[in-house]
Amino acid sequence: MQTIGLSFIDWTIILVYFGFILGIGWYLRKFTTNEEDFFLAGRKNSSWVAGLAFLSANLGALELLGMTGNTFKYGMYVAHFYWIGAIPAMLFLGVFMMPFYYSSKIKSVPGYLKLRFDEKTRVLNGIAFAIMTLLVSGINLYAMALVLHTFLGWHWDISMWVSAITVGLYVTMSGLMSAIFTEIIQFFLIWFGLFLVSIMGFIEIGSWQTIVTRINEISKVSLTTLWSTSGSAANNGMFINWAGIVLGLGFVLSFGYWTTDFLVIQRAFSAKNLRSARLTPIVASFFKMALPFIVILAGLIAIILSNDPNSGFKLLHDGGHINYDSALPLLIARYYPTGLVGLGVTALLAGFMAGQAGNISAFNTVWTYDIYKSVLNKNATDSHLLWMGRVSTIAGIVISLGTAYWAKSFPSIMDYMQAIFSWVNAPLFATMLLGMFIWWITPNGAFWGLVAGMSSSFTLYMAVKYNWFSQSAITFSSVQSDMAANLWRAWWAWLICAAVTIIISLFTKKKSKEELVGLVKGLTEENLDQDLPFIKRPEFYAIISLIVLVILNLLFW
């Protein structure tokens, strides 16, 4: 087992951070006086505060350990998860979808489904989202435990319980408000604490051209390009072609996550006005585009070092399998001197706590409003809902401990994550897209389409996992790849959900257009920011973000 001795300074940095985070939760508790403060942070935040929290809620174990480990496994194609797999959807959310979400004063995405469709569609999505959130929450606990286990040699059980108790305490005290404040602190800590890994690795290897040359000497397929080898699945590390990337990742999984996942959208709901809410994902998009320069570069460096017998760098092995997620912690151990290791460990823990806090604060909102109040206690008072929010936070943490052990059994947490998203987010995006832009989509169509999409996705997952039929039946490739299967399965789930929704809507009762004003584009009067010059509107900043995205894709073509 790899363990790293921490100095007194390292321990001091880690303990001060944990104490500071708990102190913030305790301080903000006095400002959490009602259920809107607890679940929506009082709707007082600027676009910058909400934007940084929006990104930090996503900047957990998936981004740090998962993406670095996946780069080691798949190469530079993992950058697609940041660029084609995030930015267009984030801009679409800010420009087109946020006006419907924010203006309707809903407290959760399932709340929109109730207004647009009906109660049964809301409850179905609320239950599915709650389950998904707890599964994802387990990833962050597992990742925090991996760091404590790797660096300190702590037992897995102790590591997970310490992580869970810390997050549970500060989210329970003041809900989304403490989660957002700590996420902003964690955002800067992550950047300052981890960017040095890439810089020092880059210095050791020598140059970008040297990195490309050395990796090309090692691998039989391309691990250092984005699009130029996507014509054939056999030519790149992810074993997927451009159609799978564009349809499965760029369209379905990306839009399914960024435009419907309440975990991140909840941060935009906390903005002080509609313009700030629309700017929230657009501001976050610029930082999102920069993240590959930490995690992707670190993964490529890990590939070179692990194939150099003189480097002494090897990933951890669990149960005879390579633990790809150990790449980033071991790089920190390699490059950071005594004292700075504490900063690196704290940055990792900050990222995992941000992700965990995001999941738990989203879970307690959906559980309280879309399941508990909607089904179990329709007459609950505001004070009772505030109490239920705190109780569900503790319950969510406990359940997450169980899902953490399941996440530990996967070779890569990124494969685990995309499998979950393909079950829930992919079909939900079809429902949301049709509901927001086509007025005649009916409540029954939406409900049964969602059922068909979710069940078909999970069935396809089980069919491939247990060899009921060949993976090539859904990926159109003879080369096996877990990630390719995830991306293509998401596409099929979206397509099935959309088809069933449309067909059933043709034969079932529609809501009147009057009922859908404010919920469907084309039926809603739009005068967004008409009094502002174009350079101050969210659309202007979205165009700049899109231009930067195109330039990055061309540079690393």
175-201 pLDDT tens trace: 555 556 666 676 777 777 778 888 888
| Mean pLDDT of the region 533-557 | 89
Helix/strand/coil for 322: strand
Residue 38, class by beta-carbon neighbours within 10 Å (0-12 exposed, 13-18 middle, 19+ buried)?
buried
Q: Is residue 2 part of a domain?
A: no
- How many C-alpha atoms does 279 have within 13 Å on its Cβ side? 21
Side chain identity, residue 109: V
- Residue-level pLDDT at 2: 47
Helix/strand/coil for 83: coil
Contact 103, 269 (CB under 8 A): no
CB-based contacts of 327, cutoff 8 Å, min separation 6: 65, 68, 69, 71, 72, 298, 299, 302, 315
Q: What is the pLDDT of residues 209-239, one digit of tens each?
A: 888 888 888 877 778 888 888 888 778 777 8
- Residue-level pLDDT at 448: 96
- How many C-alpha atoms does 196 have within 13 Å on its Cβ side? 18
Residue 236 bridge partners (DSSP): 222
CATH number of the domain that residue 283 is part of: 1.20.1730.10
Q: What is the pLDDT of residues 95-137, one digit of tens each?
A: 887 877 766 666 667 778 888 898 888 888 888 888 887 877 7
Q: What is the dihedral of CA 425, 430, 432, 435, to 10 degrees?
A: -160
Q: Is residue 506 part of a domain?
A: yes
- Residue-level pLDDT at 529: 65
* Percent of the chain at pLDDT exceeding 90: 10
Q: Is residue 3 part of a domain?
A: no
How far apart, in whole angstroms, are the C-alpha atoms of residue 355 and residue 363? 12
The residue whose two tokens read 């959490």 is: 32
Angle at alpha carbon of residue 319, lines to 315 and 322, rounded to 5°: 25
Q: What is the pLDDT of residues 278-306, one digit of tens each?
A: 888 888 889 888 888 888 888 899 888 88
Q: For 98-154, what is the HEC assignment?
A: HHHHHHCCCCCHHHHHHHHCCHHHHHHHHHHHHHHHHHHHHHHHHHHHHHHHHHHCC
Q: Is residue 1 part of a domain?
A: no
pLDDT bracket for residue 503 (50, 70, 90)? very high
Q: Is residue 369 part of a domain?
A: yes
The number of distinct structural domains making up the chain is: 1
- Residue-level pLDDT at 441: 93
Q: Whole-prediction pTM value?
A: 0.75
Highest mean pLDDT among 66-75, 313-322, 466-475: 66-75
How far apart, in whole angstroms, are the C-alpha atoms of residue 71 and residue 79? 8
Q: What's the mean per-residue pLDDT of the chain? A: 78
Contact 116, 519 (CB under 8 A): yes
Q: Is residue 487 part of a domain?
A: yes
Q: What is the pLDDT of residues 247-280, one digit of tens each?
A: 888 888 888 778 877 667 777 777 777 788 888 8
Contact 226, 77 (CB under 8 A): yes
Q: Is residue 140 part of a domain?
A: yes
What is the extent of the structural domain holding 425?
8-555
Q: Is residue 496 part of a domain?
A: yes
| Mean pLDDT of the region 393-417 | 73
- Residue-level pLDDT at 544: 94
Is residue 430 scored above 70 in pLDDT? yes
Q: The tokens of 434 are what? A: 């049709």
Is residue 509 scored above 50 in pLDDT? yes
- Residue-level pLDDT at 24: 67
Q: What is the pLDDT of residues 5-30, one digit of tens each?
A: 567 777 787 778 777 766 766 666 65
Q: What is the pLDDT of residues 361-380, one digit of tens each?
A: 777 777 887 788 877 787 87
DSSP 17: H
- How many C-alpha atoms does 58 have within 13 Å on its Cβ side? 26
